[in-house]
């Protein structure tokens, strides 16, 4: 059974600071997704990571994937208040279409 764990689950940070959210998963996967959810809203796709060593960047967010370590990171650079949201990683098993989600990391960026 595929398990996906994120840490931290709660993150309060100051504007301008850097931080990393970690996503560990338990079995072989061929792709990993990061989603963002604003309060009361649905999930929005941020990144899709397909292969070992993949790195994708969008604005102040950068995601990377290490398939050997079964680890993905979401790095936040110089945080701003607009990044406050809950971030989920989701992992797809090598076969099939279903995703397994982590618990989510609730990020609050304070002025």
Partner 1 sequence: DVKVTQSSRYLVKRTGEKVFLECVQDMDHENMFWYRQDPGLGLRLIYFSYDVKMKEKGDIPEGYSVSREKKERFSLILESASTNQTSMYLCASSLFGTGIYNEQFFGPGTRLTVL
Give the neighbor-by-neighbor strand order of the sheet with 71-76.
4-7, 19-25, 71-76, 61-66, 55-58
Shortest Å, Cβ 96 to partner 1: 9
Q: DSSP code of 86?
A: E
| x-or-dash string of contact with partner 1, 30-69, rule CB under 8 A | xx-x-x-----xxxxx--x-x-------------------
Shortest Å, Cβ 60 to partner 1: 21
Shortest Å, Cβ 4 to partner 1: 8
Nearer to partner 1, 2 or 13 (CB): 2
Q: What are phi and psi of 70, to 5 degrees?
A: 55, 55
Could you tell me which of 67, 3, 70, 61 has the C-alpha nearest to residue 34? Answer: 61
Residue pair 99/5 in contact by the 8 Å Cβ criterion: no
Residues of this chain that interact with partner 1 (CB under 8 A) are 4, 9, 30-31, 33, 35, 41-45, 48, 50, 88, 90, 92, 97-104
């Amino acid at each position: 059974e595929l398990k996906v764990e994120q840490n931290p689950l709660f993150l309060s940070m100051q504007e301008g600071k850097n931080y990393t959210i970690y996503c560990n998963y338990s079995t072989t996967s061929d792709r990993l997704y990061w989603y963002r959810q604003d309060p009361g809203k649905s999930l929005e796709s941020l990144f899709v990571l397909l292969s070992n060593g993949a790195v994708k960047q969008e604005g102040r967010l950068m995601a990377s994937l290490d398939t050997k370590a079964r680890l993905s990171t979401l790095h936040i650079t110089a945080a701003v208040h607009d990044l406050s949201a809950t971030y989920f990683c989701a992992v797809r098993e090598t076969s099939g279409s279903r995703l397994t989600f982590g618990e989510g990391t609730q990020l609050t960026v304070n002025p």
